[in-house]
Amino acid sequence: MVDGMENLQDDLKRAQKTIDRAEARFWTACDALPERAERLAPQTEVAHLEGLIRPLEVSRCAR
């Protein structure tokens, strides 16, 4: 059980690093293209919020 939790924590850390890299690339692209940044930023915020909500829905269903 402990190994399973450690594996999940490792997976979570890898996923967070991937998200951080993607976010950094996004903001770099936004800085390079200011006119597109205004259109893309709200979409990214929505995707980010959806990503926060989905795990909560899954954990609620698992109870």
pLDDT digits (tens, 9 = 90+) for 28-57: 877 777 666 566 666 667 677 777 776 655
Spell out the SS3 assignment of 20-50: HHHHHHHHHHHHHCHHHHHHHHHHHHHHHHH
pLDDT digits (tens, 9 = 90+) for 16-31: 999 999 999 888 877 7
